[in-house]
Amino acid sequence: MHLLYDVCHNIAKKETHMVDGKKQVVCVVRKGATRALGPKISGIPEKFQTVGQPIITPGDMGRASYVLCGTDMAMEETFGSTCHGAGRRLSRKAAKKAGKGRSIQQELENKGILVRYTGRSTLAEEMPEAYKDVSEVVAVVHGAGISRMVARLRPLAVVKG
């Protein structure tokens, strides 16, 4: 297999951004966020210079994920940041309780999603209902102009372990 894309989330990184009309080096802490550098920003590969940094925004095991790209607005408003996923709706403990007695694997396989996992509780704590709907979250960041929607992906297989 070839690596297509690799980027961290939940990081702190020194970057140069405009602050009060001047370029300044600041330490940007991204917790629950990822980089969304806009077009023509040094530090992103040349092939993305015209469109902005690509962003993979995962959803959950049963719904969509998205490919986004960074924007000039993100550079102005969020230090080049956007969401790195939908965010949890239920705690892990609450999700396990809600999944009790259900066959999450069978529910996903009924949707045509192949599932491989170790430990039933791992699958339950990550069930789709444990997360906000990423499509709604992506619509907000796209609408706000801090990242641009490029593609919607649907899950074919899930590996949890």
Q: For 103-150, what is each residue's pLDDT tens digit? A: 999 999 999 999 998 877 889 999 999 999 999 999 999 999 999 999
pTM, rounded to two decimals: 0.88
Tokens of 112: 């045509």
The predicted pLDDT at position 4 comes to 73
User: Which candidate in 2, 9, 17, 84 is catalytic?
Assistant: 84
In this structure, are strands 65-70 and 147-153 parallel, antiparallel, or unpaired?
antiparallel
Q: What is the mean pLDDT of the chain?
A: 92
Question: What is the C-alpha to C-alpha distance for residues 62 and 56, in angstroms, rounded to an integer?
Answer: 16
| Phi, psi at 157, each rounded to 5° | -150, 150
What mean pLDDT do residues 16-25 have?
Answer: 93
| Domain residue limits, the chain | 11-88+131-155
User: Residues 44-70: pLDDT tens digits?
Assistant: 889 999 999 999 999 999 999 999 999
Q: 17 an active-site residue? A: no
CB contact set of 81 (below 8 Å; sequence gap of 6+): 28, 30, 33, 34, 35, 36, 74, 146
